[in-house]
Amino acid sequence: MKEGDTPNPWPSSGETGNSFARIRLMGNLGKLENGKRLDSEKVVAPITVGQLLKELQSSHGLEFRRDSTLVLVNGVEANALQDLDTLIQGGDEVALVPMFHGGDA
């Protein structure tokens, strides 16, 4: 299937020349300083994973530790791709998932 065969699920809302990727923030990663939650966000693509994390930090005050945040690009962990240099395209879905580690029970 070619890229143009499927419509972009996140249309550009009339803004020409831009395409968007959808970002989903799971668990406590979407908790804003004012106590509200940010569950999803649209970002202009293309953008790298590293740029995306910086953008979320500057625009919403969110902070992500790479050693405790799983970044999935279309269901594939970013470390299996090009990690922070992974290019996110319009129509892609990125999920940011907190990783929790347990202790002795």
- Whether 13 maps to a domain, the answer reads no
- Whether 6 maps to a domain, the answer reads no
How far is 32 from 15, CA to CA, in rounded Å? 28
Residue numbers of the domain that contains 45: 18-98
Is 94 in contact with 72 (CB distance < 8 Å)? yes
Residue-level pLDDT at 66: 85
- Whether 84 maps to a domain, the answer reads yes
The DSSP call for residue 46 is: S
HSE of 102, CA atoms in CB hemisphere, 13 A: 2
Residue-level pLDDT at 43: 94
* Mean pLDDT, contiguous 10-residue spans, the chain (105 residues): 40 56 94 90 96 93 89 97 96 94 57
- Whether 3 maps to a domain, the answer reads no
Count of all residues that appear for the chain in the document? 105
- Total of domains in the chain: 1
CATH assignment at residue 27: 3.10.20.30
Instruction: Supply the pTM of this predicted model.
Output: 0.77
- Whether 1 maps to a domain, the answer reads no
- Whether 61 maps to a domain, the answer reads yes
